Amino acid sequence: MSCIGTAKVAAEIGHPGTKLGRCMGWRFLLLGLVVAWGAQPVFAQPVEEPPTISFSPPVLEPPSREDSGPIGRKVPERRKAEPISIPTVSLDPVEAPAAAVPPAVPVAPVAGPVAIEPPAEVASDQRLRGYVDGLMAGLVASGEIPGATIVVIQNGTVALKAGYGFADIRARTPVDPDRTRFRVASISKLFTTIAVMQLVDQGKIDLSADVNTYLGGFKVPPTFPEPVTLANILTHTAGFDDRYLGIGAPLSELVEPLGQYLARTMPPRVLPPGKTFAYSNHAFGLAGHIVESVSGQEFGAYVQANILAPLGMSNSMFGVPYPVPQDIAVPYFKGGNEGGFARSELDRVRLGPAGDLLTTAGDMAPFMLAQLNRGAIDGPIEGAQLLSPASTDVMHARHFVQVEGLDGWAYGFMEGHRNGIRWIGHDGSWLGFCSQLVLNPETKSGFFVAYNGNCHFAASAPLRKALFDLLWPAKAAIVAETNQTSELRARAVVGSYMAVRRARSDFTVIGAGASQLAVTAPGDGVLTVTWPGAGRSLSFLPQANGNWINPDYQLKAGVLVDARGQATQLALDTNVFDRVVGASQWAMWSVALGVVVGLCVMTIWGWTNGFLSRQMFGEPHAVITFMPRLIGFLAAGLTIACLVTMAALLQDEAALAIIHGPTPMLMVLLSVPVAIAVLAIPMIVWSMVGFGSGGRARLAQAGYAVLTIGILVFVAFAWQWGLHPFAMSH
């Protein structure tokens, strides 16, 4: 490194001999070191953040109470403040299951009538309404969400249905719970599951049969001895690889039929079916296509005729119409000039059955009631059923659990245990939309909430935790249950882990890499999990059954071991993570890339300084000739440009180049590492043959070799994480 920056060694590549030139060289070195030090955190794993203790300052005034929900008092005037943008790194645009994103601690916003403690018991609709109104109005007033809609069911009846904030900030259009439609993303999968179960009721589908039985235009390859079944798909254990590239499209673009899209883009099978939970949007797209094949109807038409219409969900549909109707909420991201939010655009979801439902809170109420009443439809036709009671019970029952004692998966529904009750439900997340559905069939209670903003902790986490504590208050505190082996078990789990659900066939696997978990054992059998996706560290207390539990969010952890008893996977309820070592560890690459960026920056500054010094002060010719310097300069510049662009792409919440891609510009970006690899070939040769026999030449050769090694480290990083077009399977 010293051959590029210091006053002595810079002479070998064009050293300025004057006092001014030496001063410039030292300044360039200092600047390079500062830049290199500052660049490392860009690629490092996020460090632990302190728990959130307040919402960000208010950035958006809610509409009047008469327009925004059944709140009986006025909101005091609040000054507007500059929004605080909270960037997130996410390559999961459709959704992650609830347990995949542990909620933040619910707290009162800086302003807004949010109740800190929920009532111990919900004694009346009035108390329920007052609490929910305060919670939702606080989230809107504090600028966490633009607008939201909610419906709460208690004891089999609708206890609350309301809208809050704006469906369109610019037009000041308030959210109407019966008219404003939200994209609920993966909650759509519940409707796909019902469609499958209806065909099971009719004897047209066998959940245990090979899915190829129902496919005509293409087949799922026999990668493993066991075939993929619909039971596997409905529990997310089919074993398909993940894929994000091109799963969406602009509204103006015509998209091919579902079957053609799946035939072209169905990810490969990477895990044996029925063994490991790996959430899959494409698998549910396949389930929707099977509904089409068996019923003879296009998926959206089938759902309209057999689910939405019987339930009276007249404002719901699959797919965004074009031109866009006025009653669809505008999707937003935090940080922009519309009350602290940036307007996004609606688009198409190619995997409609996995995440393209538009609905209202009013329409979701009869859907929820049908689930709570074992498939019975509350309508004019007595005895009408969405599903048979037996099929509804089967749909709600647990069918897969990764580790005994953790939460599992029903058919279509995720399941969880919180505050002493078992719940089923689903979350949804798409560009500018977030939604949650939770049901407790035992008490015939539940809630549905959706808002037109990207899913983020400060909004979705308080909603989930606060509503749980409101509807089903905790009965006992969670404590550690230690024994003599607790500490040994905890130490055996220490390491780095990467999500099983990841795209192995293209560069978006880097999202899973950058989100690796770091597990430590601080003592007393406790596990500490640093989760970049959560933005903080979570502590898990040991339990008598050999698992661990986080007392704040009631997220449970368990370990899967190999034949030797070594921990190979970590399960956080329904999310499974592979243990990674060596070149698969993101922390190692974070340090390496920091060094590479420093080398490249100092090379560019040092050689630029040398060139200017020769031109301005008549310094001696550089030892390294023009062509090696040009090739090294290009390699260093392209390396920095590629890393900065890729980091910006990963920080982009919308990431349309990925979701609507791969775009031509994205393919150009992925070609840059190939160009750098080509440039590295002559650099290797020059690093070995050198630039002469003198001391200056040998020193220059050593510096050039160090730069070459740095470039090769970047090339290795690119190949490790698929940052090249050859990794694209489609």
Which of 313-333 are b and which e, b meaning 16 or more Cβ less than 10 Å from the residue's Cβ? bebbbbebeeeeeeebbbbbb
Residue 161, classified by CB atoms within 10 Å of its CB into exposed (0-12), middle (13-18) or buried (19+), is buried
Number of domain units in the chain: 3
Task: Please tell me whether residues 598 and 532 are part of one structural domain.
Answer: no
Task: Please tell me whether residues 563 and 635 are part of one structural domain.
Answer: no
Q: Is the pTM of this model over 0.85?
A: no
Instruction: Report pLDDT for 717.
Output: 96
Task: Please tell me whether residues 298 and 346 are part of one structural domain.
Answer: yes
d(CA 209, CA 275): 17
Q: Which residues of the chain fall below pLDDT 70?
A: 1-124, 380, 457-458, 533-535, 618, 653, 729-730
Task: Please tell me whether residues 230 and 346 are part of one structural domain.
Answer: yes
Task: Please tell me whether residues 7 and 24 are part of one structural domain.
Answer: yes
> What is 467-517 written as a DSSP string?
HHHHHS---S-------TTHHHHHHHH-EEEEESS--TTSTTHHHHHHT-E
Instruction: Report pLDDT for 636.
Output: 97
Instruction: Report pLDDT for 49.
Output: 33
Residue 405, classified by CB atoms within 10 Å of its CB into exposed (0-12), middle (13-18) or buried (19+), is middle
**Which helix H or strand E contains 66, and what residues bound it?**
helix 65-68
Residue with structure tokens 């099977």? Answer: 290
Closest CA to 224 of 276, 281, 271: 271
Task: Please tell me whether residues 609 and 519 are part of one structural domain.
Answer: no
The CATH number for 346's domain is 3.40.710.10
Task: Please tell me whether residues 611 and 655 are part of one structural domain.
Answer: yes
Instruction: Report pLDDT for 533.
Output: 63
Residue 373, classified by CB atoms within 10 Å of its CB into exposed (0-12), middle (13-18) or buried (19+), is middle
Asked whether residue 8 is domain-assigned, the answer is yes
Instruction: Report pLDDT for 116.
Output: 34
Instruction: Report pLDDT for 535.
Output: 65
pLDDT tens, residue by residue, 393-416: 999 999 999 999 999 999 999 999
d(CA 204, CA 355): 24
Instruction: Report pLDDT for 693.
Output: 86
Task: Please tell me whether residues 616 and 567 are part of one structural domain.
Answer: no
d(CA 147, CA 183): 13
Closest CA to 244 of 366, 138, 354, 134: 354
d(CA 48, CA 197): 44
Task: Please tell me whether residues 577 and 591 are part of one structural domain.
Answer: no
Instruction: Report pLDDT for 95.
Output: 37
Asked whether residue 183 is domain-assigned, the answer is yes
Asked whether residue 369 is domain-assigned, the answer is no
Closest CA to 137 of 76, 87, 184, 80: 76
pLDDT tens, residue by residue, 560-606: 999 888 999 999 999 999 999 999 999 999 999 999 999 999 999 99
Instruction: Report pLDDT for 594.
Output: 95
Task: Please tell me whether residues 319 and 189 are part of one structural domain.
Answer: yes
The CATH number for 551's domain is 2.40.128
Positive/negative CA dihedral, 517, 520, 522, 525: positive
Q: Provide φ and ψ at 371, rounded to 5°.
A: -70, -40
- Residues 6 or more apart from 174 whose CB is under 8 A from it? 63, 67, 68, 147, 163, 165, 166, 167
Task: Please tell me whether residues 594 and 578 are part of one structural domain.
Answer: no
Instruction: Report pLDDT for 500.
Output: 97
Instruction: Report pLDDT for 288.
Output: 98
Q: Which domain holds residue 491?
A: 486-582
Closest CA to 320 of 433, 400, 157, 405: 433
Tokens standing for 568? 């190979």
- Terminal CA-to-CA distance of the chain, rounded, Å? 40
Residue with structure tokens 């439900």? Answer: 425
Instruction: Report pLDDT for 683.
Output: 97
- Residues 6 or more apart from 544 whose CB is under 8 A from it? 481, 483
Instruction: Report pLDDT for 610.
Output: 83
* Residue 103, preceding peptide bond in cis (omega within 30° of 0): no
- Reduced to 3 states (helix: H, G, I; strand: E, B; else coil), residue 656 is helix
